[in-house]
Amino acid sequence: MALPEAFIAKYQDLLGNESGPFFAALEGPVDKGFRLNPLKANQKPLSLSLEQPISWSPNGYFGQVAGKSIDHTTGLVYSQEPSAQFVAEVLAAQPGEKVLDLAAAPGGKSTQLAGQMKGQGLLWTNEIFFSRAKILSENIERFGVQNAIVSSADSKDLAQLLPDFFDRVLLDSPCSGEGMFRKDPEAITYWSEGYPRECAERSEEILANAVAMVKPGGVLVYSTCTFAPEEDEQTIAWLLATYPEFELLEIDKVAGSGIQDGRPEWADGRSDLTKTARLWPQDLAGEGHFVAKLRRKDDEEETRPAIKGQKADRFSSEESALLQDFLKQTVPGLVVDSSRLLRFGDRVFLMPVDCPAFGRIKILRAGLCLGSFKKKRFEPDHALALAIQPDQAAQTFAIDDSSDWQAYIHGEALNTKADLQKGFVLMTAGGNGVGWAKFVNGQLKNFYPKGLRH
Ligand SMILES: C[S@@+](CC[C@H](N)C(=O)[O-])C[C@H]1O[C@@H](n2cnc3c(N)ncnc32)[C@H](O)[C@@H]1O
C-alpha cells in the first residue's frame, strides 16, 4: 500500500515503537464481518457460519456475505466491518427510547440500533445527501425496521426542529477515513497533511447541532473511522471545553478484545480522555475506529417548549373500509393503531409512537409503509413483507427450493397446486418474509419490486 510520506512520518512520531506493527497491519488482509438481524423470525442463516463470533458485538460474526443470497435479500444479515460494530454497542439504544443517528447512510449503525430497540420507540435516522439517504432507506426496509423515520436534512435544520429531544444521539462523523485505508485504498487519494484538521472543523459544526438535540440526562456517542488525533481526542477535548454540561462516560472495552483507551497526550492532556476507545488494526481483527461516549448532565432547568407531535391523517369511510379489509385478510396478526396512520400520496404509513412533527424536513420513510390505495383496492408494500413475522400473515408460501427462489427474484409468476385462497400471499425464504405474491387461479403473480429483481 502506497501511504503518503507525511502520514508515515506522523504516525512514526505519534506511535514510536508501536508504529512497526501498525504499518505492518495496514499491509495485512481486511477482516470481513456481518451481523444477524434480531428482528427476523428465523435466526439461522442458510449460507453463513456462526462459528466465529465477534467478541464486542453480540450479533456479530466474522465472514463474508454474498449480496444476492437469501440471507442478505431477506434482511437476515447486514454486511459490516467488525470494528464498526462496536459503535452502536457503545450507544446501547433501549426499546421505547427516542434515538437519533445523525449521519447514518448507508445504515450499518442504524440497523444495529433498530435491532437493539426491538421495534419499540422512535429511531430517527438521517443522511444529508439525498442519494445516500435513499440507500439508507432501502437498508432500513430490508432489515424490517418498523419504527424508523428516515430523513435527508442538514443537521442544523434538525437541531432547530428537535432541540433537547433525544435520549440518545449518535454522530458517526464524516472523517478523513484513515482507518479505512486498508479496506478502501481510494480513501488514501483524498488524504493530505491538512485534511484531518479540515474534517475536524466539519465535525465540530455537526457536533454543535448534535449536542443541541440531546435531552438533559441523555447520551451522545461520537465516532470516526480515522486514527487522526485532530478528529478524535482533540475534537472531544474541544467539545468538553465548549459544552461543560457534557461529561465523558466510561466505555466497556470488553476484556481481551484488544480495544484500547484513548490517548490524552494527543490532545490537551485531560486524563478523562482515557475513557474514549480506540480500535487499532494491529490489536484486533478489524479496521481503525475511535468512539467517545458522553452524557449531558441533568441538573439544568427545562426551558424549551414541548415538541409538537406529527398529526395523523384522516381517511374517507371507503378508504378506511378498504384498509381494514386488507389488514384482516392479509396480515391478521398485525396490530395497527389507526391513530398513527399517515398518508404520503397513495401510500399509507404507520408512524412510530410519539412521532414529532416533521416541519419542513425531507422525509423518505415515516415508520412502516403498509401499502398503497389503488383503484378500489389496497395493495401491500414490500416493506410490510420484510417487517412482519411470517405467522402474522394470513397465507405464506416457502420458496426455499432454488428454482422457485430464482424465478421469484427474477420477477416471474409461479404455478402451484398449494391450497391457497385468492389474495395476497407472503413469500418466505429461509423462514423469513421476502416479498408478496397474489394468488389467482393456481398462479402466484409476482409482486417483487422491479428495482430489486436480479
Ligand atoms: C461515516 S459515514 C456514516 C456511516 C454510517 N453511520 C453507517 O454505519 O453506515 C458519515 C456520513 O456523513 C455524511 N455527511 C457528509 N457531510 C456531512 C455533513 N456536513 N453533515 C452531516 N453528515 C454529513 C456522509 O454522507 C456519510 O454518509
- Other Cβ atoms within 10 Å of 205 Cβ, number: 11
Q: Which domains does the chain carry?
A: 5-296 (3.40.50.150)
pLDDT at 166: 97
| Residue set of the binding site for S-adenosyl-L-methionine | 103-109, 127, 154, 172
Q: How far is the CA of 111 from the centre of ligand 1 (A)?
A: 15
**Separation CA 336–CA 374 (nearest Å):** 20
Mean pLDDT of 15-23: 97
Contact criterion met (CB below 8 Å) for 91 and 101? no
From 368, 449, 137, 332, select the one nearest 427 (Cα to Cα). 449
3-state class percentages of the chain: helix first, strand second, coil last, to nearest 5: 30, 25, 45
Which single residue is written with the C-alpha cell 480515522? 226
Signed CA dihedral, 48, 50, 52, 55: sign only: positive
Kindly indicate the confidence band of residue 1, based on its pLDDT and cuts at 50, 70 and 90: confident
Give yes or no for residue 135 CB within 6 A of ligand 1: no
Signed CA dihedral, 318, 319, 324, 325: sign only: positive
Element holding 96 (H helix, E strand): none
From 87, 75, 9, 82, select the one nearest 40 (Cα to Cα). 75
Q: pTM value?
A: 0.98
Kindly list the catalytic residues.
225
What ipTM was assigned to the predicted interfaces of this complex? Answer: 0.99
How confident is the model over 161-172, as pLDDT tens digits?
999 999 999 999
The radius of gyration of the chain from alpha carbons, rounded to an integer in Å, stands at 23
pLDDT at 300: 66
**Separation CA 111–CA 250 (nearest Å):** 24
Which single residue is written with the C-alpha cell 444479515? 77
Mean pLDDT estimate for the chain: 97
> Has residue 302 got a pLDDT over 70?
no
**Separation CA 188–CA 241 (nearest Å):** 32
406 CB-near residues (< 8 Å, 6+ apart): none
How confident is the model over 389-414, as pLDDT tens digits?
999 999 999 998 889 999 999 999 99
Kindly indicate the confidence band of residue 115, based on its pLDDT and cuts at 50, 70 and 90: very high
Kindly indicate the confidence band of residue 299, based on its pLDDT and cuts at 50, 70 and 90: confident
Q: How many helices (H) and strands (E) does the chain have?
A: 13, 22
Contact criterion met (CB below 8 Å) for 213 and 247? no
Q: For ligand 1, pick from 85, 130, 173 the residue to mutate: most ligand atoms within 8 Å of CB.
A: 173
Amino acid at 358: F
Mean pLDDT of 355-373: 98
> Has residue 301 got a pLDDT over 80?
no
